[in-house]
Amino acid sequence: MAIVEATIVPIGTSTTSVSKYVADCHKVLQDVKDIKYMLTPMGTIFEGELDAILEVIRKMHEIPFKEGAMRVSTMIKIDDRRDKKGTMEQKLNSVKEKLDM
């Protein structure tokens, strides 16, 4: 199981606001099963089977093009751990415990 972060940004859209594109990208997620995700102020973080997540991000990457963008910059950060089942929650808690938070 992997934790993956994706940031999808259209380039050259004549407006500094990209929330409409981000929102439309997220509509892709509504049909998705077996993948957890959370929205952050800098992107979306997924938890699940790596290939399934990459397939979803691949679909999200197409959305801005469908809405007229001609250039899209997508960043994907994969944290893939196979010695133990790492979830988003465990990862956060593991740090918070050590911080006494």
Task: For residues 14 and 12, give the distance between their C-alpha atoms in angstroms, rounded to a whole number.
Answer: 6
- DSSP letter string, 29-50: GGG--S-EEEEETTEEEEEE-H
Supply 66's token pair: 């469908």
Residue from the set 18, 28, 32, 35 that interacts with its own copies by CB under 8 A: 18
CB 6 within 8 A of CB 28: no
Phi, psi of 99 (to 5 degrees): -95, 0
Q: Which of residues 33 and 98 has its CB atom nearest to its own copies in the complex? A: 98
Give the SS3 label for residue 90. helix
34 binds its own copies (CB under 8 A): no
Site track for its own copies across 51-70, x = CB under 8 A: x--x---x--x---x----x
Binding flag, residue 27, its own copies (CB under 8 A)? yes
Q: Which residues bind its own copies (CB under 8 A)?
A: 3, 5, 7, 9, 11-20, 22-24, 26-27, 38-43, 45, 47, 51, 54, 58, 61, 65, 70-83, 88-89, 91-92, 94-96, 98-99
